[in-house]
């Protein structure tokens, strides 16, 4: 029985407190809007609590564990190195709690009212927020939907027990002896690499002909080689068909290139994509139009109902936290009457694999498919002093530019700190910079960032630290 229902008038109602919702709340408050934010779980959403942040914490821990084991290569004897995984998890949770606590403080500092509960539209001006046995109505002038997404569940491998999603994988209290990963996308490869470094026997089943199928082969080659060194078994063209519990784990049946195979593991991690959280919002009651579960919006994030906006994983485009935050700012500014609109000239994408992959803009093949005449510049980390001194010199930076104007069109990085280095390329493309602009920018020495400058010089045909092609 639900009790205590009453109606409250609010100005801007935001549904969802993830990187799209809480950023929108802050920007709207900065612009003078009175904001009420509804979150059913924890502020920070999937990204801060069970996604981006905890996964990167575990990745960092796995990297450091591996680095310590290899210290003898540079003359440092570290002795017997062991992992207290429960303590690793405690540390990881501390990182998460610090950040989610920071979001709560930001809500308070910006005078954003935060309400715990699950929102359901009653009509295009009202939403019912349910929290346990309490339900209250909120009548709003404007609304921003930022409810995010969740892992896709396979019909033949339903979540439960030892069949887990990334959420449960990030909270395991022991290191599995055997882990079967269904899906070779970025989540599967990232988490599979983490556990492989901690000593788990990892097998990845990917339905297509390649892991990370949206990336170019020359980029993937280094990641595939590294997975092999970590004794990760990658099986492509493999479709999981069913699962059964065993005395000490699970057995998965899969079709591999038309033949049935069986795989045993302690856990099965299913990472085949994410689904937008839109079906339980009562969008039809509000008149908000969707297509294949995604809310259709214009360049300001407006839905088919002019005073209701949507951002992040619930709208078309890649499900990326930084995209959600960007859209949240635009929607908040539009709600405040500003002329802001999204400009997706480039959206960088990063895979925290080993080595890291980061891309932005067009690849060489994509540019050629568009009929563009391009020039490329590629420079290896093996010729970079900082990378060599870090004992991490695998990979390269590749820049793609228009041949006649030299304007930068895209960049692909595979190697150390690719996730940080890609920002320079993204800014260069946004500003219409040319290869010459990048090459003439003085980069500090010795740094990994010099590789960007060196790649630009290769593209211009005047490389300094590698032999000319």
Residues marked active site are found at: 445
287 a known binding residue? no
Angstrom CA distances, 398 to 228, 406, 408, 418, stand at 24, 14, 11, 11
Instruction: Determine whether the annotation assigns residue 148 to a binding site.
Output: yes
DSSP run (H or E) holding 192: helix 186-197
Q: Please answer whether residues 374 and 368 qualify as being in contact, where contact means their C-beta atoms are separated by less than 8 angstroms.
A: yes
Flag whether 313 is marked binding.
yes
> Is 271 known to sit in a ligand binding site?
no
Cα–Cα distances in angstroms (integers) from residue 298 to residues 142, 312, 330, 333, in the given order: 16, 13, 11, 14
Residue 186 labeled ligand binder: yes
- Is 406 annotated as ligand-binding? no
Measured distance CA(73)–CA(343) in Å, rounded: 48
Residue 252 phi, psi (nearest 5): -110, 135
Residue 113 annotated in ligand binding: no
Q: Is 183 annotated as a binding residue?
A: yes
Contact 331, 144 (CB under 8 A): yes
Q: Is 188 annotated as a binding residue?
A: yes
- Confirm or deny that 45 is annotated as ligand binding: no
Give 81's DSSP letter: -
Tell me if 190 is assigned to a ligand binding site: yes
Q: Residue 63's closest CA among 226, 213, 224, 176?
A: 226
Cα-to-chain-centroid distance, residue 180: 21
| Cα separation, 53 vs 103, whole angstroms | 13
Q: Is residue 185 annotated as involved in ligand binding?
A: yes
**How far are the Cα atoms of 10, 294, 345, 366 from residue 146, in angstroms, in the given order?**
17, 12, 22, 31
Task: Write down the H helix ranges in 359-462.
Answer: 364-369, 385-389, 418-430, 435-440, 450-459
The tokens describing 403, both together, are 């041949």
For residues 138 and 36, is the Cβ–Cβ distance under 8 A?
A: yes
User: 207: annotated binding-site residue?
Assistant: no
Q: Is 149 annotated as a binding residue?
A: yes
Per the omega criterion (within 30 degrees of 0), is the bond before 355 cis? yes
Q: For residue 121, give every residue at least 6 positions away whose Cβ sits within 8 Å of its Cβ, in sequence order, or none.
A: 127, 128, 281, 282, 283, 285, 286, 288
Cα gap 318→395, rounded to integer Å: 25
Paired tokens of 24: 């929108």
Is 244 assigned a ligand-binding role in the annotation?
no
DSSP state, 211?
Answer: S
Binding residues for NAD(+): 183-190, 206, 273
Binding residues for FAD: 56, 147-149, 313
Binding residues: 56, 147-149, 183-190, 206, 273, 313
């Amino acid at each position: 029985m639900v009790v205590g229902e009453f109606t409250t008038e609010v100005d801007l109602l935001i549904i969802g407190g993830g990187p799209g919702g809480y950023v929108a709340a802050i920007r709207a408050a900065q612009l003078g809007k009175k904001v009420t934010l509804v979150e059913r779980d924890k502020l920070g959403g999937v990204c801060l609590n069970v996604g981006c942040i905890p996964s990167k914490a575990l990745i960092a821990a796995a990297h450091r564990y591996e680095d310590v084991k290899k210290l003898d290569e540079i003359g440092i004897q570290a002795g017997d190195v062991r992992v207290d995984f429960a303590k690793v998890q405690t540390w990881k949770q501390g990182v998460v709690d610090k950040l989610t606590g920071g979001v709560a403080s930001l809500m308070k500092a910006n005078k954003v009212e935060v309400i715990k509960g699950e929102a359901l539209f009653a009509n295009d001006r009202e939403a019912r927020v349910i929290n346990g046995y309490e339900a209250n109505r909120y009548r709003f002038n404007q609304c921003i939907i930022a409810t995010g997404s969740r892992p896709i569940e396979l019909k033949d491998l339903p979540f439960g027990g030892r069949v887990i999603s990334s959420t449960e994988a990030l909270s395991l209290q022991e290191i599995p002896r055997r882990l079967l990963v269904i899906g070779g996308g970025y989540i599967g490869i990232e988490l599979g690499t983490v556990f492989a470094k901690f000593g788990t026997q990892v097998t990845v089943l990917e339905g297509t002909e390649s892991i990370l199928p949206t990336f170019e082969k020359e980029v993937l080659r280094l990641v595939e080689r590294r997975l092999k060194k970590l004794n990760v078994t990658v099986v492509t063209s493999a479709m999981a068909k069913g699962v059964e519990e065993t005395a000490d784990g699970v057995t998965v049946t899969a079709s591999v290139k038309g033949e049935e195979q069986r795989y045993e593991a302690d856990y099965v991690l299913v990472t085949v994509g994410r689904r937008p959280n839109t079906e339980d919002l009562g969008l039809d009651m509000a008149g908000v139009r969707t297509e294949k579960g995604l809310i259709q919006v214009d360049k300001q994030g407006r839905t088919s109902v002019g005073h209701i906006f949507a951002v992040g994983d619930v709208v078309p485009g890649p499900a990326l936290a930084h995209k959600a935050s960007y859209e949240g700012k635009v929607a908040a500014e539009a709600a405040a009457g500003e002329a802001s609109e999204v400009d997706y000239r480039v959206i960088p994408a990063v895979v925290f694999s080993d080595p890291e992959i980061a891309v932005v803009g067009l690849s060489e093949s994509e540019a050629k498919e568009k009929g563009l005449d391009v020039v490329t510049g590629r420079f290896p980390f093996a010729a970079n002093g900082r990378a060599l001194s870090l004992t991490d010199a695998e990979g390269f930076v590749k820049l793609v530019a228009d041949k006649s104007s030299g304007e930068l069109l895209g960049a692909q990085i595979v190697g150390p700190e690719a996730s940080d280095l890609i920002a320079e390329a993204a800014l260069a493309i946004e500003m219409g910079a040319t290869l010459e602009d990048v090459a003439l920018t003085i980069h500090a020495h010795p740094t990994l960032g010099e590789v960007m400058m060196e790649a630009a010089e290769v593209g211009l045909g005047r490389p300094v630290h590698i032999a000319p092609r």
